[in-house]
Amino acid sequence: MIKKIFLCIQAFCLLTCLPGETFSEEFRLNPGQKFFPPEVVERLAEALPENKSVLIDLKALMTAYPGFCLGVELGKGRELYLIMKNGAKIIYDDGQIKDFEKKLATPDLKDSLDQLYHPGVEKEPFQPDYDPGRFRVNAFFNAVYGGSAKEVRSNLVLVSFCGAKVMFNKQNGAAKALENVGRELETLLSKRPQLRQYVFPLGGTYNWRWIAGTDRLSPHSWGIAIDLNPRYGAYWQGKNTEGGESILKMRDKYPVEIVELFEKNGFIWGGKWSHFDLMHFEYRPELLEKWQLTKENAVK
């Protein structure tokens, strides 16, 4: 019996060394690790030389979602999958060439991080079809926040937000991040009460629904988005999104202090999209993490 086992192992080793043969490889994070050690990083870089952004993207996801992104699998055809805590394996790059609408409809993880979100007050030139954060991979958010209305509801908690009580997802620190925003925003409003009109009445948080006119889930479905006062939160539908001048004027009128508080706590602002949604703030720490990693990488 021992001899048979040895022969099987020997045969497997010989097969894995045959020229031209490739085999799936799995790389898992060890407990407490935020990213892979140098030898794994080097292996992935060698296997995926054409994907220049892959290592930054993976680090952004793994750092922003600790405990949910457990590792990666490198397939036989060099396809890369992100391994999630719930067992899902989500493809990083499906290899398809997509226009803007196709990316909205069927994004992969690479698409979801392709457009760089720029936090802060620096004025960005208008770019049509530039909506960092709108390419959402449902399987990823299902794995973190819940894959059905029932699952999401089981993860919702009541959050105090500037004196109001709202429901938000507790997973991955989302509810805690909104609570932090609310506390800091309450301090700001006490000093500048004229800003309160931009916040209240709130437009809402959790609501399991499709985005109007599409078959795509709204981020409100996972309980990771909040809409402030819709009266001061212009929405793109029915308006011209090609000419950037009017969009930039609306963006400039919105209180930057409010935007900065949200971005500081891992939220992106829909006011920075060409298909603008000025009342909308969405918990997307991976996009803020990628911005930081990109800046650090540019300095090196």
Q: Where are the beta strands (DSSP E) in 238-295?
A: 267-269, 280-283
Secondary structure class of 274 (helix, strand, coil): coil
pLDDT of residue 215: 83
Please tell me the distance from the alpha carbon of residue 29 to that of residue 253, in angstroms, as a whole number. Answer: 44
Cβ–Cβ < 8 Å for 82, 92 = yes
Element holding 144 (H helix, E strand)? helix 138-145
CB distance 281 to 220 below 8 Å: no
At residue 242, the pLDDT reads 61
So what's the pLDDT on residue 5?
38
* Gap between the Cα atoms of 3 and 30, Å rounded: 34
Q: Where are the domains of the chain?
A: 19-114, 138-283
CATH class of 138-283: alpha beta
Give dist(CA 280, CA 284) in Å, integer: 12
Query: Quick one: pLDDT at residue 271?
Result: 92
CB 114 within 8 A of CB 135: yes
Listed in sequence order, the residues at least 6 apart from 109 whose beta carbon sits closer than 8 Å to its beta carbon are: 57, 61, 82, 90, 91, 92, 93, 137, 140
pLDDT attached to residue 7? 38
Pairwise CA distance, residues 35 & 62, whole Å: 7
Return the bridge partners of 27, or none: 72
| Token pair belonging to 293 | 């990693």
Determine contact, residues 91/81, Cβ cutoff 8 Å. yes
**pTM of the predicted protein model:** 0.89
Which pLDDT belongs to residue 57? 98
Per-residue confidence in pLDDT tens, the chain, 300 aa: 444 433 343 433 333 444 444 568 999 999 889 999 999 999 999 999 988 899 999 999 999 999 999 999 999 889 999 999 999 999 999 999 999 999 999 999 999 999 999 999 877 778 899 999 999 999 999 999 999 999 999 999 999 999 999 999 999 999 999 999 999 999 999 999 999 999 999 999 999 998 877 889 999 999 999 999 999 877 766 566 566 667 777 788 899 999 999 999 999 999 999 998 999 999 999 999 999 999 998 765
